[in-house]
Structure 1
């Protein structure tokens, strides 16, 4: 058995293992559509290896050669379909299927050219290169944020495309790819070509498995850190994210404000209108925080009817304005399930980080300011101007004095 035959058998086994790996991912989570496409691609890769291995048994190898080409090109198209599903890009099906048909016809037609002609070799290898660059374009065009693994994937796709494009020249340098298709596996070029194929097939598959596992872990982490009802961070996740936000603000030398809010008379809402109405109040208020928050803000539900949002780059005055705006808008909003004339309100405490403080100190002072707002009649904002100084904000004392 030649070295190329041995590598081809390895390719067949590797493709089977990779197909099984992606099928396992797809079976674990029925929503993993990309994994099913990747598995299909490597199943086609197995078929390609099997056809290549059988070619020496044919007297006229034209049909198996063209079939092997079409099957392998189909494998790259299936892989690109998985990439498109993974990165939220519409798969370019018409273009890819037309290209598959046109390239297969071209390979069939060049069978009459001299075996070692550059045109024949290019017709066989360039379509593979094109599909690798199509995959690169799919990942590049995604609106999703590209992490380190995504950038490595694009680099490997580019390298894979280049190695396909260079194979005709490699074949020429190594003395050709056999006197006929049956002799291909005995050539030095076949050993190099099949080895390169194994390296890139493994690299792409391992990268995609790592990316899929990364996404699964991110989803699990998100679910464990997210409050189900409000969609905001839960208390533990908020505290961790707030600490990171504080550290970032300190490095940048910008102020940080914390706003803590508590829904007024929430128990009365549950008692009078039912827990479903109370849930809608929480969902509505959480939606206000999400809409008001910028990308670098961190919002969370601390528990029950209490919420918090950390505002890097915001001083005490701006934090108070944020709280006043949220208080005013929320208080004017009708809530589904509640009487038209019934309005829900919230009380707010605001504090700005002082030198030497930690997140626990900041939260304690904001909570003290919130306590002052509750004592002042609710539906108002209070600020903590210093570690031992909670002051009244301007604005809503008149409206607050009429509430219990």
Structure 2
């Protein structure tokens, strides 16, 4: 076995492993459509290596040459589709179809040219360059790119250029042999296959790293998310709220917390069923999302209890926010509920004091909410600062500004 044949065998084995790896990612998370396209690309890529082996073993034929060329080009097309799906960019089907058809036809016609022709090699390698350049363009169109995405962009650009460099390497290394079946015995074949392996592995591993990153990030986000409301769950809320409080303290801006509880929610479940109760939860969560700013943090912290942290908002402004939310929600119609049925919510508001953590702030806002529930519901109560006292109030008790 020649050195080039050995590299080709490694390529075949690695392509199979990579296809299996991408299929594993796709099986673990069925929403990872790009992984299926990547797996298909590497499965098709194995046909290229098998065709190269067939040429070396059984001799050349126009059919095998075209199969080797078309299968590798098709593999690049599949990778481009997966990359476009990954980055939310429209798949350039028309451009890739035109390149594919013209390239296969060109490959057929150049078979009569001398194998030592620089132009022949340039025409053979250019379609691979163009297809990888399309991948570069796809990633470049992504609206948001992390460091890993930029590394992938650079690897794809380098991979595209290595295809364009092959005609020059072909001339420097003595050509590709007098016939296709002699190709694997040439120095050029050894270098070309090795270089192709390095770039193919680098691109594939970076794609795997990016997909695994996305899977882990998604799993982490789901662990912090309440599935019914789509808001953060209690644990996720506390983590993100603590981070937002730390940033607000660094900037020297106030922070307030609003905690709300749906009034008489148990009666909704008892009278209209749990499906109706779920719709109420979903409706209130959607209302909170529409009312909050991008830097606010909202979560469902209990069955019918919600919290929203308002960085940059003092107690007076937070109370106004809560009053507006209370009035707006009371006027909302709930799908599946009688037209005359209106639901209300009670609110407790607290402003962060020096030395407090998220647990302390939530405890004070919860006291204010408790007072609102015991004051007839459908109202807003605020909590004084720690140690604050109003005439007739217990130390630290919630009070009303109404």
Return the TM-score normalized by structure 1: 0.90
Cα deviation per residue 1:296-345 (whole Å; 9 max; x = unaligned)? 22111111211001122222233222212211110111223333222111
Q: Which residue of 2 aligns with 1:335?
A: 334
Q: Check the 8 A contact 2:60/2:180 in 1, yes or no.
A: no
Give the distance between the partners of 2:366 and 2:59, measured in 1 at CA: 85
Q: Does 1:180 align with 2:167?
A: no
Q: Which residue of 2 aligns with 1:309?
A: 308
Give the distance between the partners of 1:121 and 1:24, measured in 2 at CA: 37
1:339–1:62 distance in 2 versus 1, CA, 3 Å: closer
Q: Which residue of 1 aligns with 2:391?
A: none
Q: Which residue of 1 aligns with 2:201?
A: 202
Q: Check the 8 A contact 1:66/1:104 in 2, yes or no.
A: yes
Give the distance between the partners of 1:189 and 1:282, measured in 2 at CA: 67
Q: Which residue of 2 aligns with 1:112?
A: 112
Shift of 1:73: 0.5
1:13–1:345 distance in 2 versus 1, CA, 3 Å: same
Other structure's SS at 1:258 match? strand
1:280–1:169 distance in 2 versus 1, CA, 3 Å: same
Listed as ranges, the matches of 1:273-292 within 5 Å are 273-292=272-291
Q: Which residue of 1 aligns with 2:217?
A: 218
Structure 1 vs Structure 2 CA RMSD: 2.1
Q: Check the 8 A contact 1:346/1:378 in 2, yes or no.
A: yes
Give the distance between the partners of 1:190 and 1:77, measured in 2 at CA: 24
Q: Check the 8 A contact 1:20/1:39 in 2, yes or no.
A: yes
Give the distance between the partners of 2:92 and 2:157, measured in 1 at CA: 19
Give the distance between the partners of 2:252 and 2:62, measured in 1 at CA: 71
Give the distance between the partners of 1:252 and 1:189, measured in 2 at CA: 61
Q: Does 1:354 align with 2:353?
A: yes
Q: Which residue of 2 aligns with 1:89?
A: 89
Other structure's SS at 2:275 match? helix
Give the distance between the partners of 1:348 and 1:272, measured in 2 at CA: 24
Q: Which residue of 2 aligns with 1:98?
A: 98
Q: Check the 8 A contact 1:316/1:385 in 2, yes or no.
A: no
Shift of 1:291: 1.3
Listed as ranges, the matches of 1:5-404 within 5 Å are 5-57=5-57, 60-143=60-143, 145-389=144-388, 390-393=398-401, 397=402
Shift of 1:108: 2.1
Give the distance between the partners of 1:129 and 1:314, measured in 2 at CA: 55
Q: Check the 8 A contact 2:234/2:300 in 1, yes or no.
A: yes
Q: Check the 8 A contact 1:257/1:350 in 2, yes or no.
A: yes
Give the distance between the partners of 2:266 and 2:387, measured in 1 at CA: 31
Shift of 1:391: 4.2
- The range that moved more, 270-279 or 122-131, is 270-279
- The range that moved more, 284-293 or 85-94, is 85-94
Give the distance between the partners of 2:273 and 2:67, measured in 1 at CA: 67
Give the distance between the partners of 1:270 and 1:335, measured in 2 at CA: 14
Return the TM-score normalized by structure 2: 0.90
Q: Show structure 1 runs of 5+ residues with no match.
A: 398-404
Q: Which residue of 2 aligns with 1:401?
A: none
Give the distance between the partners of 1:238 and 1:173, measured in 2 at CA: 63
Q: Check the 8 A contact 1:261/1:370 in 2, yes or no.
A: yes
Q: Show structure 2 runs of 5+ residues with no match.
A: 389-397
1:160–1:288 distance in 2 versus 1, CA, 3 Å: same
Other structure's SS at 1:241 match? helix
Q: Check the 8 A contact 2:173/2:188 in 1, yes or no.
A: yes
Other structure's SS at 2:116 match? coil
Shift of 1:225: 2.0
Give the distance between the partners of 1:189 and 1:181, measured in 2 at CA: 13
Q: Check the 8 A contact 2:29/2:215 in 1, yes or no.
A: no
Other structure's SS at 2:258 match? strand
Q: Check the 8 A contact 1:89/1:142 in 2, yes or no.
A: yes
Query: What is the aligned length?
Result: 393
